[in-house]
Amino acid sequence: MTFLAPWALAVGALAAAGAILLHLVARQRPAAVLLPTARFIADRRSLVSTVVRRPRDLVLLALRVVTLLAAAAAFARPVLAPTRSPIARVVLLDRSAAVASPADAVSRVRTLLDAAAPMRLIAFDSTAVALPFTTATLDSIAGAPVAGGVGSITAALVAARRAAALLAAHADSVQVVLVSPVVASEVDDATSLVRAQWPGALSLVRVAARIDSTSSWSLERAIPIDDPRGPAASALRVAAGRRAVRVRTSSLDAPDSAFARGGGTVVEWNESSAGPMAPAALVVGDDVVVAMLGRSLLPAGGRTVARWANGSAAAREILIGYGCIRTVAVGLPTTGDLPLRHSFQRAVRGLLAPCGSGSSGVLADAATVARLRGSGPMARGSALATGGDRPTPLVPWLLALAAVSALAELFVRARPAPEAA
């Protein structure tokens, strides 16, 4: 138990000490003596103060001290504060399809397990779920299949903020550990805003992203090598399947929608509506492609997965059913060495990556990761705590005790004191 206003206790203690001192000073009428000329003494009704070694009126003194201390304790606002540990930890475990090896991520999390520190485990993909941070929980997570959804660091951060508020009352500092590959698809426009709400640095434990392995997904059909996208797609595996990536360079039709709803990814890369070629910079994850590119209009809605240098969207994807449809509004030149550039090939592979992989196949850029990581020390518990201290039920009892003592003091004081003779 601690006190929110300890100065009240100090004041009460001082007052009690003062009461004891006053009781050591016997202020009373002196011994009565017959004096026929008493009428010539000024009627001041003064009392005589004498210092005694033992406090007088012990019952009265006890009541007064109890009154003062009880009132002081009540006004000191006692609260039941939990035992604080130096650090509390919130671990955000990426369970999206962007993680290449969920077992590896779980093993990273195991290294963070600390029995002495209060901890929370939040597993997230598109949503975040708080789980008890136990070995059994980690075992079950490691054995569970990956859902395959798109990860949302924003949702994870929101959940982390809530969990940290609960842990802050138990710790001086709160550390948030993000175990994730941090792919571009996991970062959205709200991420930076939510991240700004966190008063401290984040610890990033980056694990391998699924994008690192091209064998994890496949194209439904191979892209001709004379296509500008061909060189980049030549490294991709081609295998028809329910979860393959279908690339359409023309308008979509009903089978495409059905394919997407069934869990596949349809990439609509129709260059026929693209504008004239013009120098432009295309940003896909960490890769920037500067070349003569054409632009076309994108339908509203969806998540932006690629942008032009001016910030406007170059590619968007819309979740539909169990899959998604990605629309790429980038016109490619038919001449030049652009298809042979590595940056362009990485950008193309990112744009062709399935939505279900949790990323458009691109790791988040360094600046995004740096903003996500932040700087400075861990967040202080006091900056996060929201009413962690619970008022104790003692306060009304203390006030009642003070009131009863005060009333008793009145009755005791009203008793006629024996007069010294």
Partner 1 sequence: MKFVELMSPTPYGSLLDSLRGIRWPAARRVAGATLGAHPSRLRGNSSEFSEFRPYRQGDDPRRIDWRLLARSDRAYVRLTTDRATLRTHVLVDASASMAFPQPQLTKWRRACEVAVGLSAVAHAEGDPIGLTVVTEPPVVLAARARRSVIVEMIRALDAVTPAGSAPLAPLLASARAQRIAVVTDLLGDADQLLAGARLRIAAGDEVTVVHLVAGEELDPPGDALLAVDPEQPALRRTLDAATRSDYVRRFSAWLAGTADAYRAAGVRYVRADVSEPATKLVRRIVSGVPARAG
Binding site for partner 1 (CB under 8 A): 29-48, 420
User: Cβ 399 to partner 1, closest distance in Å?
Assistant: 39
User: Cβ 58 to partner 1, closest distance in Å?
Assistant: 24
- Are residues 379 and 205 in contact, defined by beta-carbon separation less than 8 angstroms? no
Q: Could you tell me which residues come within 8 angstroms of residue 312 by beta carbon, excluding any fewer than 6 positions away? A: none
User: Residue 255: how many CB atoms within 10 A of its CB?
Assistant: 10
User: Cβ 45 to partner 1, closest distance in Å?
Assistant: 7
Nearest to partner 1 of 32, 366 (CB atom): 32
Question: In 147-241, where does DSSP find H-type helix?
Answer: 153-168, 189-196, 230-233
Nearest to partner 1 of 226, 419 (CB atom): 419
State the residue for tokens 């929370």: 120
CA 9 to chain centre: 36
- Are residues 97 and 149 in contact, defined by beta-carbon separation less than 8 angstroms? yes
Question: What is the Cα–Cα distance from 166 to 120, expressed in whole angstroms?
Answer: 10
Nearest to partner 1 of 33, 366 (CB atom): 33
Structure tokens at 110: 């195991």
User: Cβ 64 to partner 1, closest distance in Å?
Assistant: 25
User: Residue 27: how many CB atoms within 10 A of its CB?
Assistant: 12
User: Cβ 410 to partner 1, closest distance in Å?
Assistant: 25
Question: In 213-282, where does DSSP find H-type helix?
Answer: 230-233, 254-261
User: Cβ 418 to partner 1, closest distance in Å?
Assistant: 13
Q: Could you tell me which residues come within 8 angstroms of residue 81 by beta carbon, excluding any fewer than 6 positions away? A: 1, 2, 169, 388, 389
User: Residue 46: how many CB atoms within 10 A of its CB?
Assistant: 10
Nearest to partner 1 of 31, 51 (CB atom): 31
User: Cβ 65 to partner 1, closest distance in Å?
Assistant: 28
Nearest to partner 1 of 41, 367 (CB atom): 41
Buried b (16+ CB within 10 A) or exposed e, 272-295: eebeebeebebbbbbbebebebbb
Nearest to partner 1 of 39, 54 (CB atom): 39
DSSP secondary structure letters along 387-403: S-SEEPTHHHHHHHHHH
User: Cβ 23 to partner 1, closest distance in Å?
Assistant: 19
Nearest to partner 1 of 38, 254 (CB atom): 38
Nearest to partner 1 of 1, 32 (CB atom): 32
Nearest to partner 1 of 14, 25 (CB atom): 25
Nearest to partner 1 of 36, 279 (CB atom): 36
User: Cβ 28 to partner 1, closest distance in Å?
Assistant: 10
User: Cβ 20 to partner 1, closest distance in Å?
Assistant: 24
Residue of 391, 2, 383, 393 whose CA lies nearest to 167? 383
Count of residues in the chain:
421
User: Residue 119: how many CB atoms within 10 A of its CB?
Assistant: 23
If DSSP codes are grouped into helix, strand and coil, which group holds residue 106? helix
